[in-house]
A and B are shown apart, each in its own frame.
Chain A
Amino acid sequence: MKSLEELKAIREKMQGQIGIRNESSDQTRVVVGMATCGIASGARPVLTALSDAVQTKGLANVSVTQTGCIGLCQYEPIVEIYEPGKDKVTYIKMTPEKAQEVVEQHLIRGHIIQKYTIAEVLG
């Protein structure tokens, strides 16, 4: 049985670090569609891949969140990226592998992966 003692240790380690995380306007939001359509198409592993990658890469200015039905059910799983001062980028038919590429290329290096965007796929 995993104990709550370990959780106490985490708290002690982390106290004092709280508040460092910047929730200000330079925050990039990564939004995953998680309604019935998204979940049925495989949005949960995509979301997990995004959260894990953002955490392991230590991207403190990126937050991963969920939303309901975006209205484009046939293109799910859909991931939208909102960067301050830039146009929204919509990636469609995502997989955990593509999600990792998006973290590497788009979120870290700033290169939009055109071939996964809705504009490119639907031509």
Chain B
Amino acid sequence: MMTEISLNVLDIANNSIRAGAGLIEITVQIQRDRDALTIIITDDGCGMTPEQLKSVEDPFFTTRTTRRIGLGVPFFKMAALSTEGSFKIDSTPGSGTTITAVFGLTHIDRMPLGDMNSTIHTLITLNTHIDFLYTYSFDGNQFTLDTREFRQVLGDVPLNSPEVSAYIKEYLTENQNEADGGYHI
């Protein structure tokens, strides 16, 4: 069991990385008027067959070989459904996968969103061969971080160099603060 939604996101994004994705899009959307916190993770990786898709929500299904149990997707699904939310996976072999989880924002059983910025920062700096498009939206105020834009500016300066890594951290913190005014999610 994870203690923060942001840790589920980190875990699920690792599935996209293993699926050979070149671009991973992560969206966090908070809508207080709909009482909803929506997480969408989309990748352009290898996708899943209908058979795999059917079994991926089963804890006793995994593609890894060290152990015959995979709890990442079941954890995420359980976390969403326990808040009267919803959970959906769409996947096409060869073109990618999208996971959508909706949480009841004020539901008593919703775990905190947690440190999303740390999840995004970790993903970007440890997987510099992959592009990330992160969108954070709070009641319609939103910001994005697109590593493709960053790369254009940076040329051959790597995303995980200390200066750029620090910049990414500040970029995320400052822009999230501007979007949600420090609202505790």
Contacts and interface: CB of A to CB of B under 8 A. Distances in A.
Interface of A: 1-2, 4, 6-8, 10-11, 13-15, 18, 34-37, 39-40, 44-45, 47-48, 51, 55, 64-66, 68-71, 73
Given A44-B7, A47-B122, A36 B72 contact: yes
The 10 A-B pairs of least Cβ separation, nearest first, read A71-B66, A36-B72, A55-B162, A2-B171, A7-B153, A2-B174, A10-B163, A14-B157, A69-B66, A39-B11
Contact of B122 (A2, A6, A37, A44): A44
B155 A4 contact: no
Interface residues of B, number: 42
A119 to B, nearest CB: 20
Interface in B89-133: 115, 118-119, 121-122, 125-126
Given A2-B170, A48-B122, A39 B18 contact: no
Given A36-B72, A55-B162, A65-B126, A18 B167 contact: no
B1 interface: yes
B143 A66 contact: no
B75 A36 contact: yes
Interface of B: 1-3, 7, 10-11, 14, 18, 64, 66-67, 70-72, 75, 115, 118-119, 121-122, 125-126, 143, 149-150, 153-158, 161-165, 167, 170-171, 174-175, 178
Contacts of A40: 1-3, 7, 11, 75
Contacts of B18: 68
B35 to A, nearest CB: 27
Given A47-B122, A68-B18, A8 B157 contact: no
Which of B10, B75, B157, B165 neighbours the largest number of chain A CB atoms within 10 Å of its CB? B157
A1 to B, nearest CB: 6
B143 A1 contact: yes
Contact of B155 (A15, A39, A71): A15
Contacts of A65: 126
A36 B143 contact: no
Contacts of B162: 55
Contact of A4 (B67, B153, B156): B153
